[in-house]
Structure 1
């Protein structure tokens, strides 16, 4: 059977095709009684021309907005894959916004999403400033946080325990005989992932009787190029070290590139462990030992939570997902 057409809707509602079109596009020129007849015919026939008609029936646009600080990163790509999987299965479209470094365009895109009348928002990898929260509150749409959380506002989130994961990464190096352990991380003011991962690193050192040396820590922005700059700074200025904990896989891979250029062997001369378990970490040589974040699964879970809020208006809980240490070939035991 062929799907119903706009002519079928007009015939069932006993109006013209032009009237049906005007109703579906929310234009003027018809009575409320006519509008209800058209919407009833649309619903009974299952006519779905586009999101406009569906939105008139269920009061939704069937779209969700997703805000990323860097849509080009592998991290964002893996998260988005999970978000879109669930959204598409449930009949939702996804609008992706690149808020840029330090959220320079976050307020602009929140306004765009408001104008687009999205049904909900997935907010990722950025600190939820008060101005963001107030803008989201005015939009009156559900929000789910991913890879971030708010300690001030009750907003459901999906993330790993960054402090515990960093602790495990550092302790793994210690268990392999390393005591001179350096770290490259995000900025020291990053409250989302930077500070918790540094705290986990420090705590692992302290619990194993190793003194923290600030000179062995260099900062960047989680990106590959910043990983190169950070390792160059450590090699030039830090006391000697036999192992490196990188707070992201991209930083780890950037550091490995510099090591290769300088003839520093991985893991013979320096052991390296990353964080994220991006697909590229399995492709490089040697393959990167790292902390696995189930990014695609986190995206799916966030999408499921958001759609549950959109469709049921019910409360959903936050989730700390499990991380896992993945052993590959960049850590070598020391006597």
Structure 2
């Protein structure tokens, strides 16, 4: 049988209370008792029960993270920063990869609740009434990272996706482009889908550039999606001079397709991405991209969730916007 705290106390010749104080790193413990207890723990190979300690503290020191797709470079990079920050704050992480499956997400949310996690970070924005109801009624803090909260009472850390897409499109217009194709995401995704599309539309409108529906495609943020949409654009009679993709993954898929057609980037067609993921500097030519501050997004998300857990109340400001910027590289040219 595994050693119990009572066995440690007997071996050290001290009370169970003294052992508990040592395990919880409480102050004002004599060095003599500390040495005795630590020696007994070592001899008995004693491991404290995490469940028992959690029940006593009313905390599990555990955070759940709902990730839409771990194969997406941006998501996996943000997750690694969140994990790094969680470790610094003493939290364990439970990662739930839902692969865009809402039934799976609901199952994970209930499982995290049963595990009594201290808080949850959600990194996507496709919901149904069941999930919205869970979020609205949940007792633990829930924070949205990189997306807007669908409910007013929850907290979000993100960039201004509408403004970022508008800035990206205006940058391309400033390079002289008028035939600007748009590779977008799911419009049900208010943050990365709808907001970025609206930014693109408004930038064209502000510059009095007619909207060409043939230059607009919607995919799922992945490389293969970008490749297939780019193929459709290249098989049209009129081709764009530049493609703006709302994820670097789709931008790279589009670049591969352009090269497969024997065309040059940026001499024949320019390409701009969104996120400034690891892909951006790995491909050739290096990809011009709208940068999301990945490290700041991950660290700030964990920091604010920690504050919500510690304070038990949310601040008046529900949305924290971090700055975005264009990373100019070799995939876009002036015409």
Structure 1 residue aligned with 2:186:
187
1:38 Cα deviation from its structure 2 partner? 7.0
Distance 2:49 2:280 in 1: 41
Structure 1 residue aligned with 2:115:
116
Number of equivalenced pairs? 310
Q: Deviations over 1:40-59 (max 9, x none)?
A: 56434798735334313421
3-state DSSP of counterpart to 1:204: helix
**Pairing of 1:117-196 with structure 2 (within 5 A):** 117-196=116-195
1:91 Cα deviation from its structure 2 partner? 0.8
Distance 2:6 2:325 in 1: 53
Structure 1 residue aligned with 2:54:
55
Structure 2 residue aligned with 1:107:
106
What is the aligned-residue RMSD (CA, Å)?
A: 2.3
Q: TM-score, normalised by structure 1?
A: 0.86
3-state DSSP of counterpart to 1:325: strand
Structure 1 residue aligned with 2:88:
89
8 Å contact from structure 1 (residues 9, 42) kept in 2? no
8 Å contact from structure 1 (residues 9, 41) kept in 2? no
**Structure 2 unpaired stretches of 5+:** 39-46
**Structure 1 unpaired stretches of 5+:** 16-35
1:208 Cα deviation from its structure 2 partner? 0.8
Distance 1:144 1:220 in 2: 27
Range 76-85 or range 222-231, more displaced: 76-85
Structure 1 residue aligned with 2:311:
312
| C-alpha spacing 1:132/1:181, structure 2 compared with 1 (3 Å) | same
Structure 2 residue aligned with 1:224:
223
Range 58-67 or range 148-157, more displaced: 148-157
3-state DSSP of counterpart to 2:144: strand
Structure 1 residue aligned with 2:328:
327
Structure 1 residue aligned with 2:41:
none
Range 235-244 or range 72-81, more displaced: 235-244
Q: Deviations over 1:139-158 (max 9, x none)?
A: 41001101222354221101
Q: TM-score, normalised by structure 2?
A: 0.86
Structure 1 residue aligned with 2:43:
none
8 Å contact from structure 2 (residues 183, 245) kept in 1? yes
8 Å contact from structure 1 (residues 80, 296) kept in 2? no
